[in-house]
Structure 1
Amino acid sequence: MNGNTVFLVNLLATWYMVGLIWMVQIVHYNLMDRVGPEQFVRYETDHGRLITPIVAIPMLVEILSAAGLVLLSPAGFPRWAAWIGLALVVAIWMSTAFLQIPYHNQLLKGFSDAAYRGLVGTNWIRTILWTVRGLMMGWFARTMLSG
């Protein structure tokens, strides 16, 4: 696989996640408090089961291709940008592991306003980081195509 292919894979995985995280942040998470206490545990359980494949696979592709860009930076994509991109992905994974997953685990026991607000509030970290990554990758795609 060459640097251009790795860049394209990373660009696509990143923008997939940008779209998904905004939908989750603005729509999905904001509807969670409307489920009702008697159905909430099932809803949260189903959420985890259904969203995992559509999130985990692209996140894995993104982090692997971000690491690949550090090794195989294509012409027009500076190595410093590859390192920043990888650092952003690592920060997203850390936020997921240490903030969002624990809040989801709390919500698996039943709706808690504090856990719900914590989830929605801390998810802005991932939303912002993925948006920054997407804009950065888009900038370099534009630069590389016009150069």
Structure 2
Amino acid sequence: MFGLSFQQLIIQLHVFSTLLMTGVVWHMQVVHYPMFLVFKKEDGVRATEFHRQRTGYLVMPVMVVEFVTAVLLTSSSWMMLYGNFLWLNLMLLVLIWAITFLRHVPRHKRLSESFEPDTVHALVRANWVRTLLWTLRSILLIRFLG
């Protein structure tokens, strides 16, 4: 078990990283991914590779903080009172990671090798699941805090 001040830091980092990722995923869903369709096919490969590299610099550290803090929360004294919620929170995050690395990363790789509008449309459709899951997690965490 962790001390109370450390647990408070963990939950603050967790909520911050979750809310940040929720904002990022909504931006990707509504603005960024649809913008890929504006590119000509010959520019799309370069644009999506640029996106993949730069976005990784932003989201990977935040996703790691979000994941590590979700795991740490399941080892906190809050488990006695909020165990079901903390496990649900972690399981939803594991689902997001699975979708990200099993579905999104391969699509991004495919786009950076051969830009096809159908792949962009598939990316946008599939990203709705992550967008809704992150939004659900944000709502649940805000409710948990309040």
TM-score normalised per structure 2: 0.92
**1:27 corresponds to which residue?**
31
Specify whether residues 8 and 112 from structure 1 end up closer, same or farther in structure 2 by C-alpha distance, changes over 3 A only.
same
Question: What CA RMSD, in Å, does the superposition of the two structures yield over aligned residues?
Answer: 1.6
CA drift at 1:74: 3.6
Kept after mapping to 2: 8 A contact 1:66/1:82: yes
Q: Which residue of 1 aligns with 2:52?
A: 48
Q: Cα distance 1:29–1:71, how it changes in 2: closer, same or farther (>3 A)?
A: same
Q: State the shift of 1:86 in Å.
A: 0.4
Report the counterpart of residue 145 of structure 1 in structure 2. Answer: none
Unaligned runs of 5+ in 1: 143-147
Does the residue aligned with 1:15 lie in a helix, a strand or coil? helix
Aligned pair 1:107/2:108, yes or no? no
Q: Which residue of 1 is the match for residue 127 of structure 2?
A: 123
Structure 1 position 88 matched with structure 2 position 81: no
Please list every run of at least 4 consecutive aligned residues from structure 1 whose deviation after the TM superposition is greater than 4 angstroms.
Answer: none
Q: Using a 3 Å threshold, how does the CA distance of structure 1 residues 119 and 16 change in structure 2: closer, same or farther?
A: same
Taking a change above 3 Å as real, the CA distance of residues 47 and 3 of structure 1, as seen in their structure-2 partners, is: same
Quote the Cα distance in structure 1 between the aligned partners of 2:81 and 2:18.
16
Distance 2:116 2:24 in 1: 24
Q: Do the aligned partners of 1:10 and 1:66 also contact (CA within 8 Å) in 2?
A: yes
- 2:136 maps to 1:132: yes
Aligned pair partner of 2:71 in 58, 67, 74 = 67
- In structure 2, the CA distance between the partners of 1:131 and 1:49, relative to structure 1 (3 Å rule), is same
Corresponding position: 1:14 with 2:18? yes
When residues 25 and 76 of structure 1 are mapped into structure 2, their CA distance, relative to the original with a 3 A threshold, is: farther
Size of the aligned set, in residue pairs, is 142
Q: Distance in 2 between matches of 1:66 and 1:35?
A: 38
TM-score with structure 1 setting the length: 0.91
1:36 aligns with 2:3: no
Shift in Å, 1:77: 6.0
Aligned residue for 2:113, secondary structure, equals coil
Alpha-carbon distance, 1:12 to partner: 0.5
